[in-house]
Structure 1
Amino acid sequence: MMGKLAVLLSIPILFSCGENSSEKSGSDNILENLTFTVDTVVMDPGDQVVNVQFGPSLFGLSPDQKRYYFMHRNSGELTVFDLDEKKWIKKIQFEKEGPNSIPSFVSNFQLIDENTFLLTGFKVISTYDSVGKKLANIPFDKEKFPDLTDEEGYSLHTGLKANERQELFFSLPSDPKSVRISLAIWDNSSSQGRLVSLPEFGFLTKFTLEFREGDNYSGAGFASLNLKLEENRVLAFSSGTTSIYTYDLRSDSLVFKTYTPILVPAEAEVPAISKFTNKQAFDEAISLARSQIFFGDLLWDESRGIYLRFASITKPDANPGLPKRSEVFLLAFDRELNLIGESKVEELPSQPSWPFFKDGKLWSYVNVEDELGFAVIDFNF
């Protein structure tokens, strides 16, 4: 709806999660008496039409947490909003052809700073400035990693991230045949690449289901791999497990963190069968996989100095026409990634969508009459 005024819909609903929280004592579980309130914020698009049909799966937040960058992967539009003023600021239209062209399908977007963006497509990684000019092509490809298998070469860009100076690039290539996942590190200043094996993540390569019948093929994956870059370390994690790898850039050391949460399984179960020739059996396997535990991103809350991570289990519904509902949980970790709290959140029907922290509150995307909106959650614990 064009010209809509920015709206703050105050919904002072107090949710209490204490009755469902961990069996740990209050001193051990910081989320034992978790409560929160929710407000809804809608961005004013001015006279612009912003396509939020598929949600902001590609977005970035400015370092001061004031500007929100929403990349539309197909149209090449980068729309910028002011989160404090709750309004549209500008749009950057990238070219689809020519010397400054972007990938035809943008699989990954990273905001390096407010004047530099990293865009990834099939075998293409490039940086652009704030007017859409291509700055550099990044030679991050299989040839730079001779130890990679062909399968790992295809997945080389998984979770791709670059540090702020664009000297170091990281990704998580995988190979189901070798049951192997690695941390790929490319030093753009010295033109050197290397692999760091993540052996405890190998089982995550088994979470892809395949259906083949003649020339028909379908595939479904259920354990995404993700990276989070910090000043001196890299965190590797997956939606299929609570476990986290930390790679220290200063000491060149790798640490594997495992957990035994009380309220949720520590990891999803590997499917008993992964290859199907019967469509009904394939669909049933997908339903079963979707009912497993699913862990969200690691969300850094600067105001408290902790990480929060959602987890959920989708409950099967006898009526496919009804919205699916999930059991939602929240886990808390300290700066050293020790588990310090967990709670079941009865009032949330699903995990927050594309969440981030701003000024100590969790912002989560919501579609408000086809306009960009956010549920702003204020936790109290």
Structure 2
Amino acid sequence: MKMMNTSALSHCSLGLSDLIVPTPELTAHVGDSVLMGCVFQRTEEKRVTKVDWMLAENEYVLYYYANFSVPVGRFQDRVRLVGDILRTDGSLLLQDVQEADQGTYTCEIHLEGESMLLKKNMVLHVLPNEPTEVTVHMGDSALMKCDFQNTEKKTVTKVAWTFSSGEHAKNETVLHYDLKFNLLTGYPQHQGRFQNRVTLVGNVFHSDGSIKLQRVKESDGGLYTCSVHLGHLVFRKKVALRVILEPPAMPRSEFLDGNQLVIIVGIVCATLLLLPVSILIVKRTHRNKSSVNSAALVKSLEDMKKANPEKHVYSSITIHEVMEAEDPQGCPEATYMTMHPVRPSLRSLPAGGISKTEQAF
């Protein structure tokens, strides 16, 4: 709440034509309701004679005069004066906010017997429509928002959530909060199925009555109505909850973050750098293996030669068979055969060396 202090009042007595306080800002979605406060606290009681609300200083929104409040133009069915005029409160409630409502609003309060104006500006930013349907998988938690924007940041005095499964179904109480008793209650556990599953997560000191419904069941699907009380003002919002019976799918990242991209690039670069080295190592290993196999083969042949030296010594043997005449009894005489080994130095022997077979009797 903006307050007019004593110094401000002294300025009034000095003949200032009007008094302007700092400009607050509000942000709302299309279809929301906003409360634009225009409150001044004074030490002396003076009757308010007129209140004017304008948009961009050239489009009238509402004016109050002679105890009558009159909405104007396209705001006719969407605005109303909700402040206490007797207490210098000219606050305005704007419902069903539209994109064209965005801009700077000016509130001017005229006091009886004074030429000075109490003036207050505020800026309204309008965002696209916020979805009123919440879709969750069975077993998950559902966040249902119910917050209202206002420049005065009034404390919520009461929050009530009800549920209906169909158009003609009976309303069930989901949650009830009352600041007067500082209680957060629902139906007793044996009567209400929302007991122990609903939590008030909104900040009631900033006009937020949002709730979270945990362990959502198939029967929780339907229409939820939120009622937020700011003193004598009541704001309502409806949220449709749709429950999907299939279990939630595993989350999948569609894009790589910076760290993952750096790691992948590093792996690729390292692979390209190590590939030639790997090829060279493989070739050298293959070459060494071939050399080892060749050396092993040569050594094997040498070992075989050392183990069988007589094979080449007796590689040439001359065999002469001498047949003698048979004796009268028809029995052949014994035949002897002599083998002469070929010596390594055959060329050094004299010509006409041993050429006949010796017979021993």
Question: What is the TM-score normalised by the length of structure 2?
Answer: 0.22
Higher Cα Rg: structure 1 or 2?
Answer: 2
Q: Which structure ranks higher in relative contact order (CA pairs < 8 Å, sequence separation ≥ 6)? A: 1
Larger helix percent: 2
